[in-house]
Amino acid sequence: MSKDITLPGIRRTCDKIQSVLMRKELNLKSYFISLDCKRTGLVTETKFFTVIYNQLGHEFGVCQEEVKELTDYFKEQDGRVCYKEFLDQVLPKEKECKAFVSGLEWESHDHVNVLTSFELRQLDLILTKITYSLRCRECQIDDYFKDYEWIGNGCGTMSIAHFQRILDQAGITLGPKEFQLVVRRFLKYGYVINYIAFLDAIHEILKWFDRNGFLNTGKDFLENYPGKVITIENLEQLPRPEVCNVDIAKVFDTTKSCHPFNDQNKRKQEMDMSELLLRIKKHIYDNKIRSREFFEKFDKLRRGFVTKFQFHRGLEAIGISGLHRLYIAKHDLEKIFDAYKYQRDPDRISWKDFCDDIDEVFTVKNLDKLPYVVVKSPPDEIKDLPCKGSIDWNSASKSMHETAQEAIFRIRDIVKSRRIFIEVFFNGFDKLNHFHVSSDQMRRVFSSNSILLSEKEIQALILCYGDDMGFNYWKFMRDVNEVQFCEAKHKKIVEFLQRLHCQQKDPCSNPNYSVVEILAKIKNQVTRNRINIEQFMKDGEKLNNGMLSACQFRARFPSAGIFLTDCELDILCNAFKYSTCKDKINFRTFCEMMNQAFFDVKLEKRPCTVPTQHVPSSDDYLNFLTYEERHIASHALQKLARHYNNVSNMETFFKDRETKCFISKETFRQVLTICGGLMDVITQKELDVLYKTFSIATHSNGRKFNYRNFLTILKHVYNL
């Protein structure tokens, strides 16, 4: 449904555009559809202004103010413009096309263009001065336009050049800016001047002169200022008694004027001496300033005092004055002068006492005599010092607290749901990284991200996060993005690890393990999987001293593929730890013992010795069989030996499916099924016992079937 236009200005502009569309058959809808890819019927305010004013403004003959009024009228709540409702009002319908023949808006003799209120005031002053000049010279300006009525057939328009020529003939000289303002007001069709409307405006002013008795002027204007150019600069300014007498906050809304200079109470408020020193200490700490260097150059003899003028110069060099970074009023500076006045000479200031008090923000004086004092830099009162100009938020009203809290919750939900990184928009306005923006810039950030807040909520946010420098968006972002600005968890992780290491380990469940058994177990895994354990141990050694910590020593075994229990590792650490350093493990001695599985150490000194390689045993505790299981395995081998003709071909099937001389249990079952149906000869229990007998542990910490040992034993049983 399109809205009914009730405002006469909007209706007049729409009729003007509609008349052009009927006469020239422009496809206005195609301009908006090309900008609206999703066909929502909404475009941004900039795109709407570009189409109506920049692209088709010369066709429609509309001024900038008329387009702005259209934009504001058809704007939705989210800031976009509904061009569909605009097209419903402007596009000519079939019934309406028959009724209209030409644009009636352009045919009106009273047609004038819309200007701003400031431009209208300037235009009224110009026309008043033109009328005053004509009345003083008793000049009838209508006679100059009669010739053009015959040429233009009474249409009431003429070119801009002819209009300027007539004004020159009438003795009216306008400045370039003033002439452009008159042309903008009375321009018609985009290229001619509606002089009838211009004459009507002059006649209205003449009538006003007649009603108010301004006819007897004495004709002094022309004599004193012959040929004077009429400009706006020469016009007298209107009296403004409110200047310097009325507070800005009373004229405008308090939410719109957010500058500390506007608050009369803040300008007259004085700080006490303690707050002054805290402000100066914070300034010194933030900028890392050595205050003594700025005063020592004035005190060559190091007497500890300087003149008042020299002390003031030192403060200005530090940045503490009414014109530098830390603003302190003149009456506050006088307090500092009185507080540090030299007792013997009131005209001098004791700068050493001042610097001693200021440097307490870094350290404590005579700290060598106080060994048990804990120094905090900066102190808590400096760290928690609020920004200058901010209010005590704890003393604010309860309604203001609730309004600000509700606004923060809404902004937090919008930022989280839309995934908006709102800090980037604030950084765009903060070029110097002061973490402050003005209230207008804060409003622009919220409106550009479609965060719609009421005026009361914005005022509550300004009171909560505002100070003398503006809106503190860094403090605001800490409350909005709690996850991003949360404290680091490094301290908690360190405390957790310390508690974890302090915990006592459980005693070994089987303390009767022997070191020889553990070393034999490791040698079996090293020999079977061909592991160079010394290479893994050297990765954790930094100083090349042959020592590793207990944690590093334990971590090398899983990386090398050697799997031991915690009790076994504890026994190894106790066996190979250094006598002088109990926290370190001598891994070189351990590696020499493991390398004996491959070669003998120092074999070059024993030439007659025949080296023997360690042969690992494949049996472990999982291969242990009870008496009943041994009987079942023997009976199963005898059954298979009776069908040795089928078993002899079994090796070929095993080789096709082997993985490093090992097969799985399912593969063993498949081969028995393929080779003459041997799976029907033995039972499932006999199959499980055979797999348990000939299975070994592999490097992947799993168990595989060693089919070669199985075939060797089976052949031996057949030969019996």
Which residue in 690, 669, 676, 680 sits closest to 646, CA to CA?
A: 676
Asked whether the beta carbons of 686 and 612 are under 8 A apart, the reply is no
What is the Cβ-side half-sphere exposure of residue 250, based on CA atoms within 13 angstroms? 7
Per residue in 410-439, pLDDT tens? 898 888 888 888 888 998 898 888 888 988
Supply the pLDDT for residue 98: 40
CA torsion sign, 664 to 669 to 672 to 675? negative
Please tell me the distance from the alpha carbon of residue 673 to that of residue 32, in angstroms, as a whole number: 78
Q: Which two three-digit tokens encode residue 126?
A: 């110009």
CATH match for 8-107 among 1.25.40, 2.40.40, 1.10.238, 3.10.450 = 1.10.238
Out of 39-53, 91-105, 150-164, the most confident range is 39-53
For 268-383, CATH number?
1.10.238
Asked whether the beta carbons of 349 and 340 are under 8 A apart, the reply is yes
Q: Where are the alpha helices (DSSP H) in 74-116?
A: 83-90, 94-99, 104-107
Maximum CA extent, the chain: 155
CA 597-598-603 angle, to 5 degrees, is 105
Asked whether the beta carbons of 307 and 348 are under 8 A apart, the reply is yes
Omega of the bond leading into 378 within 30 degrees of 0 (cis)? yes
Supply the pLDDT for residue 229: 60
Q: Which amino acid is at 479?
A: D
Supply the pLDDT for residue 257: 46
Domains 117-224 and 393-480 share a fold: yes
Is residue 102's pLDDT more than 60?
no
Per residue in 247-304, pLDDT tens? 655 555 544 444 444 454 444 456 788 888 888 888 888 888 888 888 998 988 888 8
| 621-719: CATH architecture | Orthogonal Bundle (1.10)
Q: Of residues 22 and 194, which shows the higher confidence score?
A: 194
pTM exceeds 0.85: no
Which residue in 306, 271, 274 sits closest to 291, CA to CA?
A: 306
Asked whether the beta carbons of 266 and 277 are under 8 A apart, the reply is no
Q: What is the C-alpha R_g of the chain?
A: 49
| 393-480: CATH architecture | Orthogonal Bundle (1.10)
Supply the pLDDT for residue 466: 85
Is residue 321's pLDDT more than 60?
yes
Please tell me the distance from the alpha carbon of residue 440 to that of residue 491, in angstroms, as a whole number: 41
- To the nearest 10 degrees (0 to 180), the angle between helices 176-186 and 195-212 is 100
The verdict on domain 515-605 having CATH code 1.10.238.10 is: yes
Helices (H) and strands (E) in the chain, counts: 39, 17
Strand partners, 75: 81
**What's 117-224's CATH class?**
mainly alpha
Is residue 117's pLDDT more than 50?
yes
Per residue in 322-352, pLDDT tens? 655 787 888 888 888 888 988 888 889 999 9
What is the Cβ-side half-sphere exposure of residue 504, based on CA atoms within 13 angstroms? 3
CB within 8 Å of 519: residues ≥ 6 apart:
593, 594
Please tell me the distance from the alpha carbon of residue 643 to that of residue 638, in angstroms, as a whole number: 9
CA torsion sign, 232 to 118 to 120 to 207? negative
Please tell me the distance from the alpha carbon of residue 521 to that of residue 594, in angstroms, as a whole number: 11
Supply the pLDDT for residue 267: 46
What DSSP letter does each residue of 357-405 carry, written as one string? HHGGGT--TTGGG-TTPPP-SS-HHHHTPPPTT---GGGS-HHHHHHHH
Which range among 64-78, 159-173, 550-564, 591-605 shows the weakest confidence by mean pLDDT?
A: 591-605
Distances (CA, A) of 439 to 257, 327, 471, 617: 9, 21, 6, 83
Per domain, the residue ranges of the chain are 8-107, 117-224, 268-383, 393-480, 515-605, 621-719
> Other CB atoms closer than 10 Å to residue 27's CB: what's the count?
9
Supply the pLDDT for residue 34: 83
Which residue in 706, 702, 683, 685 sits closest to 694, CA to CA?
A: 706
Per residue in 616-642, pLDDT tens? 666 665 677 888 888 898 888 888 888
Please tell me the distance from the alpha carbon of residue 270 to that of residue 332, in angstroms, as a whole number: 7
